[in-house]
Structure 1
Amino acid sequence: MPLLDGQAPHLDRAVDALVESALQRLIDRSRGRARPIVAAAVQTATGGKRFRPRLVLESYLAFSGGPLPSRAVADIAAGFELLHTAFVIHDDVIDQDVVRRGKPNVSGIFRERAESAGAAPHEATLLGDAASILAGDILLYEATRLIATAPVPAARRDGLLDLLDQAILTSAAGELADVEYAVLPGPPAPDAVMAAARDKTAVYSFSAPLQAGALLAGCNGSAQQALAAAGESLGLAFQLVDDLIGAFGTVRQAGRPPGSDLRERKETVLIALARLGDDWSAVEKALVSAGDGESGLIAAQDALEASGVRTQVERLIDLTLATAKKQWSRAALPEAAKTTLTGLARAIQGRVP
């Protein structure tokens, strides 16, 4: 279920137009050997949910009460989408994924090209990873350029760059912690895994876009703090739902083969909580065979279900969203902003597989 899907078609069209315009400008500036990398990056940016730029626009409109925003606001909204795409491309390298949304990602595209030209598998992998890192770098720079050059007053630009700094630093720290928990000896505590899950997603996907829209409308102070807190809770709930999708979701929900998190033995909140349960020995044994075809995956899913941990995560999602709603209902925010946050919470809940 796409976030905010169908709630305001005119905003969906505006978001699509501004993102496509930013991507086209990037294509127009690419030359020579850079063009295939840019083309693959643009392909990754095509067809996503695009709820981050939508949040920038919705927040701006909620606090300004005005018409659809200027080109400056549009560029900043597009910048958050390109930031997301850059993170996605780099994340695929970390996870060694070659498929995104059911089709080859940047790594997959360049691996296929290398193999078709006669490269050995390990050489094709090297090329695919290099192309992905470079494509992500290009989009990361472009996102920064869009935000840094937006025609806004200097004070607002400084605030926007502060939001961008925090989003990048927090997401990088969360992503690294996620990898550390997967490779270092000794299981991580559920609270640590939950903190990493929040850091990976919450700031750049929720808090920063919401705050950016409000900042562009001239809002500062307590409202910004309320949006930051709401974004953190929404982002954590979103990532917890992603954990369930990674274990139990369909191809359509996950955009990749079902049960990928279980096959890859990822240290998600789901697994961290399962370790504390009485049935962990049975779950652990089943997880070992999760990568051994469909029957092994089903056995691992059944073991997690039987342990009660899936229900436990679902309750944690409910609690996180309920806490967030209490926070923003008491804050001094425009009703339109509270409506946007409520819609986000409802959409996140609707993604639970």
Structure 2
Amino acid sequence: MTPLMTSQDLQASVDARLPLVEAALREHVTGTPHELPNAGSEYRRMWQRIGEQFVGGKNLRPALTLAAYFGLSGEDTEAVVPVAAAMEMMHTAMLVHDDILDHDEVRRGRPNIAGARRAELAQERLPRDRTDDHVLTAALLSGDLALSSAYDLIARSALPAHHRLACLNLLTRGIRATIAGELLDMSGDLTPIGEADALNVAELKTATYSCVVPLLAGATIAGADPTMIGHLERIGTSLGLSFQLVDDDLGVFGDPDVTGKSNLSDLRAGKRTELMRQAYAAATPAQLGVLDRHVGDADLDDDGAAAVREILEESGARGRTLAIARRHARQASRIARERVPAPLSGYLLDLVDWLDGRAS
């Protein structure tokens, strides 16, 4: 790794190793079931369904781990790949459990684990409540299985013991922060939308495990000092907040054919996002009536959603929320530019530009 390496070189290095991460994940989900040969066919199918969740993802988390490692002069591909794979496995677990909480059965434009299990059970002609129990069981246990696998990938890696322990601790931090964020998110419907602490939820639920933990894992095993770890933590938090705010916007205004997710489910669930908090804070009494009628309506149709979107635009809620996302993106850029050495600084600046493009 030479000082003359550019951000484009680092991007190419990351891109070249992402297939190795995918291969590590595939090997794990195909090989691990054989450790319990008497566990049954459903156990093996569960692993197969987990493997199917890797298709179509952005690979943001393993890419951040690889970028931080190689961007800070790491050189051992064999050591970092299992850690990057663990970041994606943790993400898979979080998605599976999040879909349970949101009652979603579609992910990335196709049936998720719950949806696939429901399709398998269709020919059994079970009562609806029994089918629902089987679907919930499959999804819940699959998420647990993926979560244990994230630890397993790191525990079996070729890292020195102190680096393995550091990465396992980071994994635990990410999981605990996400659970805290999910609890705040799920209990949010007990308070008015206008009083929701959506940014805190976004930091706990998304930013920590999606950006902070992957960056710190890569940097730690590359030997980064505490000062650099601190800079990357701040960058990761701002990146994650920007990412989540834009993701919330796409959840309402995005094209499902492009995003792979419904643009009705967040509205039907009445999610306490910063976008909705801003809308309730600025809406007129007449607009509040429309929001109260449609937001959280499980049977919301396209016309109702269009009425909500119009208010989000007219009240300025959408513009203000995207402005907050851009502010966090600029903060991440400033720290990267001033405190992080090349080529990692350039890679992070390019990533901020990509995130900003998602909101365009």
> For 1:1-353, what aligned pairs fall within 5 Å after superposition?
8=11, 11-30=14-33, 31=37, 32=40, 33-64=42-73, 66=75, 69-182=76-189, 184-187=190-193, 189-190=195-196, 192-279=197-284, 281-286=286-291, 288-289=293-294, 291-331=299-339, 333-352=340-359
CA contact 1:283–1:307 (8 Å) conserved in 2:
no
Deviations 1:90-123 (A, max 9, x none): 1000000010111110000111222321112222
Q: How many angstroms does 1:287 deviate by?
A: 5.4
CA contact 2:66–2:218 (8 Å) conserved in 1:
yes
Distance 1:12 1:128 in 2: 36
Distance 1:250 1:284 in 2: 26
Distance 1:6 1:42 in 2: 30
Which residue is 2:3 aligned to?
Answer: none
Deviating more after overlay: 20-29 vs 226-235? 20-29
TM norm structure 2: 0.90
Deviating more after overlay: 34-43 vs 108-117? 108-117
Distance 1:7 1:186 in 2: 46
Extract structure 1 runs of 4+ deviating beyond 6 A. 4-7
CA contact 1:283–1:303 (8 Å) conserved in 2:
no
CA contact 1:181–1:188 (8 Å) conserved in 2:
no
CA contact 2:68–2:216 (8 Å) conserved in 1:
yes
| 3-state SS of paired residue (1:335) | coil
Distance 2:70 2:342 in 1: 11
Q: How many angstroms does 1:65 deviate by?
A: 5.8
Amino acid at match of 2:231: A
RMSD: 2.1
Amino acid at match of 2:201: A
Deviating more after overlay: 133-142 vs 322-331? 322-331
Distance 1:82 1:6 in 2: 26
Taking every aligned residue pair, what percent have the same amino acid on both sides? 31
Distance 2:117 2:107 in 1: 14
Q: How many angstroms does 1:148 deviate by?
A: 2.2
Deviating more after overlay: 38-47 vs 85-94? 38-47
Distance 2:283 2:93 in 1: 40
TM norm structure 1: 0.91
Amino acid at match of 1:235: G
Uncovered stretches (5+) of structure 1, i.e. residues with no partner: none
Distance 2:283 2:32 in 1: 58
Deviating more after overlay: 87-96 vs 109-118? 109-118
CA contact 1:107–1:125 (8 Å) conserved in 2:
no
The number of residue pairs the alignment matches comes to 345
Deviations 1:274-315 (A, max 9, x none): 121142641441452364321111111112111111111111
Distance 2:206 2:198 in 1: 13
| 3-state SS of paired residue (2:343) | helix
Distance 1:105 1:278 in 2: 36
Distance 1:217 1:5 in 2: 20
Uncovered stretches (5+) of structure 2, i.e. residues with no partner: 1-6
Distance 2:134 2:112 in 1: 13
Q: How many angstroms does 1:257 deviate by?
A: 2.0
Amino acid at match of 2:55: T
Deviating more after overlay: 23-32 vs 111-120? 23-32
Distance 1:281 1:84 in 2: 41
Distance 2:286 2:255 in 1: 26
Amino acid at match of 2:28: R
Deviating more after overlay: 8-17 vs 343-352? 8-17
Q: How many angstroms does 1:328 deviate by?
A: 2.9
Amino acid at match of 1:268: T
Q: How many angstroms does 1:152 deviate by?
A: 1.8
Distance 1:5 1:133 in 2: 40
